[in-house]
């Protein structure tokens, strides 16, 4: 699940930004002329031109968002610019099936859980720590915060055509480490699931290179692990390539064809419809958890509206963030057949020494509370729209010497697990 891009840096003149793509055109021409025939030359030229056209499309959309903005908020910590865009003009409504529409009303019926858990989640949801809103800033009612896309965001990516998308080689298999993806996760499978919920603490995980990332998230999954895989994902991630820094950021993702041609991170494409004016998807989470100090949770709930069929993202039992329209999906148009919770990293050095990129806090589960990363109150939504414990949770770590996982149950935390690790160490050379 590697990224293909994104972050706010000082503005670069548009002509300077196009130069690398023009050089790309020339270099493809020279390489193909030296090493290939007419067919290879033509393919390379068309590929480079597609990149340039994709770049222009991305920047045109960014310009539309900036022009539509009724207010811009400059994040004090990370340099992000947050544009407050009228909700009916957000990127989701570029989709042919959504053009000319407005966000739907929030569902009246939400998943049922215990009163005690609901009260705790409601209290936590009042404070969702993000850098851009530290000074009490928010977007006006009727608008949504959109993190501004810059030229440098696109140029930082390996492909403008796949800006904001994961590589086609991405996978969510808990037993697979193809393309250097390594996991420590808990999962439930073999049933009909209509959502998932958990609280997870946020850390400033150290990522060794721009080609790697570290994330902690919930996956809601349906279909086979072939090209028909549907997923909905949300959590926090550190991705230098996508955001241009090493801050942990709140993110979403979706795909309906195993990351081939559909879906994207956050609001980088049409799809996810945001309804909340106080939460910026893709923005940095601040403050974060401190080793041997205070812990900061985010409580996430993904659930399927039984009336309209859309998949909603909610902060615990508190405010809704937005929804994935049901028409985006094939298998998830009905229900999920797997839910997964936990951490993932990309190890870009599959041969030789292992990456020191951290998962979670960078400490092993055995260190416990205040030191290791955790998921607590791990639940699923059943056929009756009720939250129930993920009682059959299975725990798997691809490389326990690098990143491990240990779970348990208690009355305060329900089903929980600690997970993560430092990557390269004496047990993970």
Q: Which residues are catalytic?
A: 233, 344
Per-residue pLDDT, averaged over 213-224, amounts to 95
pLDDT score recorded for residue 170? 72
**Is residue 206 domain-resident?**
yes
Residue 163 has pLDDT above 80, yes or no: yes
Q: Is 35 exposed, middle or buried (0-12, 13-18, 19+ CB in 10 A)?
A: exposed
Q: How confident is the model at residue 117 (pLDDT cuts 50, 70, 90)?
A: low
Distance (Å, rounded) from C-alpha 308 to C-alpha 110? 12
Q: Is 10 exposed, middle or buried (0-12, 13-18, 19+ CB in 10 A)?
A: exposed
Residue 404 has pLDDT above 70, yes or no: yes
Residue 174 has pLDDT above 70, yes or no: no
Residue 13 has pLDDT above 60, yes or no: no
**Is residue 425 domain-resident?**
no
For the chain, the average pLDDT equals 87
Query: Which residue did the predictor score with more confidence, 169 or 249?
Result: 249
pLDDT tens per residue across span 73-89: 999 877 899 999 999 99
- By the 8 A CB rule, do 416 and 406 touch? no
Q: How confident is the model at residue 166 (pLDDT cuts 50, 70, 90)?
A: confident
Closest to 344 measured CA to CA, from 218, 227, 231: 218
Helix count and strand count (H, E) for the chain = 5, 18
**Is residue 6 domain-resident?**
no
Report residue 179 CA to chain centroid gap: 18
Per-residue pLDDT, averaged over 120-129, amounts to 62
Q: How confident is the model at residue 15 (pLDDT cuts 50, 70, 90)?
A: very low
Report residue 197 CA to chain centroid gap: 16
Closest to 364 measured CA to CA, from 299, 285, 416, 425: 425
pLDDT score recorded for residue 32? 41
- Name the residue range of residue 401's domain: 71-420
**Is residue 116 domain-resident?**
yes
Residue 176 has pLDDT above 60, yes or no: no
**Is residue 33 domain-resident?**
no
pLDDT tens per residue across span 268-300: 999 999 999 999 999 999 999 999 999 999 999
Count other C-beta atoms under 10 Å from residue 14's C-beta. 11
Residue 2 has pLDDT above 60, yes or no: no
**Is residue 292 domain-resident?**
yes
Q: Total domain count for the chain?
A: 1
Q: Among residues of the chain, what percentage have pLDDT more than 90?
A: 71
Residue 419 has pLDDT above 70, yes or no: yes
**Is residue 56 domain-resident?**
no
SS (H, E, C) 349-391: CCCCCCCCCCECCCCCHHHCCCCCEEEEEEEEECCCCEEEECC
**Is residue 301 domain-resident?**
yes
pLDDT score recorded for residue 423? 98
> Worst-scoring range by mean pLDDT, 21-35, 265-279, 382-396, 406-420?
21-35
Per-residue pLDDT, averaged over 113-126, amounts to 60
């Amino acid at each position: 699940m590697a990224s293909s891009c994104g972050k706010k840096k000082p503005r670069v003149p548009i002509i300077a930004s196009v130069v690398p793509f023009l050089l790309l055109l020339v270099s493809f021409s020279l390489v193909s002329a030296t090493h290939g025939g007419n067919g290879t030359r033509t393919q390379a030229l068309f590929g480079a031109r597609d990149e340039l056209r994709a770049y222009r499309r991305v920047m045109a959309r960014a310009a539309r968002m900036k022009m539509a903005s009724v207010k811009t908020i400059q994040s004090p910590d990370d340099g992000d610019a947050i544009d407050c865009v009228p909700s009916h003009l957000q990127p989701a409504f570029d989709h042919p099936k959504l053009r000319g529409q407005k966000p739907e009303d929030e569902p009246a019926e939400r998943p049922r859980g215990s009163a005690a858990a609901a009260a705790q989640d409601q209290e936590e949801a009042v404070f969702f720590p993000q850098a851009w809103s530290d000074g009490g800033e928010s977007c006006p009612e009727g608008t949504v915060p959109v993190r501004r896309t810059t030229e440098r965001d696109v140029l930082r990516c390996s492909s403008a055509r796949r800006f904001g998308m994961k590589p086609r080689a991405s996978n969510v298999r808990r037993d697979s480490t193809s393309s250097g993806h390594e996991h420590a996760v808990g999962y439930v499978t073999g049933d009909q699931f209509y959502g998932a919920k958990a609280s997870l603490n946020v850390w400033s995980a150290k990522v060794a290179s721009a080609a790697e990332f570290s994330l902690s998230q919930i996956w809601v999954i349906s279909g086979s692990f072939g090209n028909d895989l549907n997923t909905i994902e949300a959590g926090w991630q550190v991705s230098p390539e996508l955001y241009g820094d090493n801050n942990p950021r709140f993110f979403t993702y979706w795909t309906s064809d195993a990351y081939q041609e559909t879906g994207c991170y956050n609001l980088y494409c049409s799809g996810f419809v945001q309804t909340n004016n106080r939460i910026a998807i893709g923005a940095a989470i601040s403050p974060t958890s401190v080793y041997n100090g205070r812990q900061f949770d985010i409580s996430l709930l993904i659930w399927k509206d039984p009336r309209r069929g859309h998949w909603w993202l909610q902060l615990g039992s508190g405010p809704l963030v937005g929804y994935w329209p049901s028409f985006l999906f094939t298998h998830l148009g009905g229900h999920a057949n797997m839910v997964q919770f936990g951490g993932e990293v990309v190890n870009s050095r599959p041969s030789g020494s292992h990456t020191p990129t951290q998962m979670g806090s960078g400490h092993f589960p055995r260190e416990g509370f205040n030191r290791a990363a955790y998921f607590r109150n791990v639940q699923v939504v059943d056929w009756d729209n009720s939250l129930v414990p993920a009682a059959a949770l299975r725990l798997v770590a691809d490389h326990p010497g690098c990143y491990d996982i240990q779970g348990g149950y208690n009355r305060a935390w329900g089903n929980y697990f600690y997970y993560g690790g430092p990557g390269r160490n004496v047990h993970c050379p």
